[in-house]
Structure 1
Amino acid sequence: MDVSAAAAVAAALAAFLALYFSGVSARAAKASAKSTERAAASASESAKHAAAVAQVEQERRDEERERRHESLSPHHLAPLDFKLEIGVFFKEDGLLFGSFYSPRSYRVRAIMHDHEGQTKSADVGLVRAHHRSNSFVVERWPPINGADCPRTTMIRLQFWPPRADDDAEAWTCPCGRPTDDTSGGPGHWEVCINVPAVPVTAKKDLDWVYRDGEYGRAPAD
């Protein structure tokens, strides 16, 4: 074989080897790309699974906080035994007072709604567990218009956990809703007591209890 032929063979062999290794490299690169894609897909699936697990756990914690919130509500502890009663003020004018028995220590505000849609509030303050609240004024009695039925149609009691400096057992609600009774917003819990338009006479008490999800007058003895 002359020199020219040998050189041609060598060049052809070099070209073949270059093409071969180029193909090997391309296949390796393609395999690496597919492996990377599979790894990325696997990581994405793992991330989705982790996010789903985290979502389920968050929902479980939220549900647990809501259950705890409801368990601390005055609705579920015991009857509030709400009472309306007439009190004499300065020996002449009377006032219609409200009070209730509290199964747990709360800070409380009462908001009275009348048949004209007007409201007024009374700060009941701290009510200790297993005690009656301080009496709060519902309305003047008898009404200015001479009626013998209360003008108030509903009393909305707003409840919050005690403050840290209150003289009561320390507890709070983990639900995340505001627990500050000075914010002027809605109560952490609220209980609405409907006041029926029934005649109220002097020195007559109206006792109220919570039964079957509603408040109403206690049966007569």
Structure 2
Amino acid sequence: MKDYGHRGVLLAATLSALAGYVDAVGFLTLGGFFVSFMSGNSTRFGVGLATGQWTQALTAIGLIGLFVCGVVLGASCARRFGEVRRAAVLGLEATLLLIGAGLCTAGMNVAGMVAVVLAMGVENAVFQKNGDVGVGLTYMTGTLVRIGQRIATALHGGPRWDWVPFLMLWVGLACGGALGAVMFLRFGVLALWAAAAAVVLLTALVARAESRAVRPA
């Protein structure tokens, strides 16, 4: 995380918050399935198989497949436009979230959730580096492991604060999830529009920053 600078860490924490927000809305819309947390869906898939709950198993594996497709789309976009051009990936994510929000508003929740899951997969390519995930934005188990590892390093004489950026990712996801749940309870699936608007704004801000970075002196 320290390789991304303060702005990169802030962007990552913001995107984690958005992932938590969208996941909470998706979780409540789908009745207990996740749109970004695929570890949870993997567990539900295994439990569904073991208990003969085939609808649960099929729903879980379908969501997992869609998420992987989203990752492929995001990774391909990053390769096409350059991994340092994050605005392209954010633009793709924003487009999918807008489509998802529009479909859900029209009453087509299943189709809308397809677009939303794809968007969450795409998001993980924002910090793609050398074809691999630089920062995990929609899942926190690895992040929590890194927090523990960095704390242990600090206790043994290493850098004192390297764990803080990873903590910001977790806090972002948790707070975003809480906000998403509150918004869903008030607005239902229409709460997705706020997430879509936020990613549109982020896309514009990142595109502007990238344009300034490549502008000749």
TM-score (normalizing by structure 2): 0.23
Higher strand share: 1
Structure whose residues are more often helix by fraction: 2
* Max Rg structure: 1
Q: Identify which of structures 1 and 2 has the higher relative contact order when contacts are C-alpha pairs closer than 8 Å and 6+ apart.
A: 2
